Amino acid sequence: MKTEVPGPRSRELMKQLNGIQNAEAVHFFCNYEESRGNYLVDVDGNRMLDLYSQISSIPIGYSHPSLIKLLQQPQNLSTFINRPALGILPPENFADKLKESLLSVAPKGLPQVITMSCGSCANENAFKTIFMWYRSKERGHNNVTKEELESCMINQPPGCPDYAMLSFMGGFHGRTLGCLATTHSKAIHKLDIPSLDWPIAPFPRLKYPLEDFVKENQQEEARCLEEVEDLIVKYRKKKKIVAGIIVEPIQSEGGDNHASDDFFRKLRDIARKHGCAFLVDEVQTGGGCTGKFWAHEHWGLDDPADVVTFSKKMMTGGFFHKEEFRPNAPYRIFNTWLGDPSKNLMLAEVIKVIKSEDLLNNATHAGKALLTGLLDLQARYPHLISRVRGRGTFCSFDAPNDATRNKLITIARNKGVVLGGCGDRSIRFRPTLIFKDHHAHLFLNIFSDILANFK
């Protein structure tokens, strides 16, 4: 570390950018040319261990040699330069590249995939896919009526049916209008934006350590599941149909809130019982950080989901879905770019690296080292750290309050460690898949000193 963070150069650039747009969220400016592996370098020359990895979106570290090599191959040049409107004019190798990349890691039972540019885009179009599937189920073999065609043009039923997505308090699914109606993590995301009257169920608030609160946590999960069923029925009475349920395997932005595998298995059953589509949002949990490629694999279900959305570590946004959710006409799920073939090319390479370097096992192993170390710190500093939890490297803990959490993040940054916050007072760990045991121990040593000297 050479300066405090943000240093003088970062502060100067912040001032410049703030003249062009609101840049108050910027932490510091980065020198990506110098950043390598798990280490992020800022414009003032500070080299930091990055445990936040661009809000959980860097799969195999900065400037990975395999990706650099990929970009240097002349045959890939065209893919990076000529960005096509994929829905109408895809390149010759598009289907092959999808098979090599996304379809090689498709979740169980979901053979169809559509790419998008980001996570919000993925969820927004997944909602539309679910609504169209539900309406086509209701319509049966009947044709679309003239009334439906005309009423949809003025945002009225029957053309725009009164359907809803059920979501959970604390969930985060994106910031576009439909997604925002299912996002309930922070008020600042939603303030001043008109929204939809869609049902919001409570998400379990588990007590830790789990082994000491087995009965209480089972009751809490049962309470939330009962509320889900009640809401589906209550909305139906209001003539509003819950066409789908959206849930994250671990609520990330909302505070790293976990529920048991059993909770998700029962939630899946409720969706099936009421004829709702089950949408699993793996935007932050997908790609291997929990020790399995998809976090929902931990539930051990044969039919885990109808639709799974992804982005972040997957390099491209998009969603997998069952055959029966396939749109029945062109242009129904569509936009100009529908993702970017250069991202599929990079993802294929990332998947090769994950397999050849056994990075899923690494996430389990390194995650265990991180979690064990955090539990040890919790035992030593219970006034600063509580509710340590995690799966793979997807770990977190609670600070006593928001101010302490923010102070710990700032001090850590000045000691050369980048961490992220989430929820009201949690600190989350989102390292890359090449984060190893020794990186965990390096962090734990630094953080132990920070806690010992914390005023």
Query: What is the spatial distance between Cα 212 and Cα 174, in angstroms, rounded to a whole number?
Result: 35
- Residue ranges with strand state E in 313-380: 317-321
Q: Does residue 298 sit in helix, strand or coil?
A: helix
**For residues 145, 148, 149 and 153, what is the CA-based torsion angle, rounded to 10 degrees?**
170
The set of catalytic residues is 172, 281, 312, 336
Residue where the block lists tokens 């003239």: 146
Residue/partner pairs of 197-200 with CB below 8 Å, 24 or more apart? 197/164, 197/240, 198/164, 198/165, 198/166, 198/167, 199/164, 199/166, 199/167, 199/231, 199/232, 199/234, 199/235, 199/242, 200/166, 200/167, 200/168, 200/169, 200/231
| 200 CA to centre of own chain | 19
Return the residue matching tokens 């885009």: 121
Residue 189, both tokens: 């995301």
Contact 61, 38 (CB under 8 A): yes
Sign of CA dihedral 294, 296, 301, 306: negative
Alpha helices (H) in 202-329, listed in sequence order: 214-237, 261-273
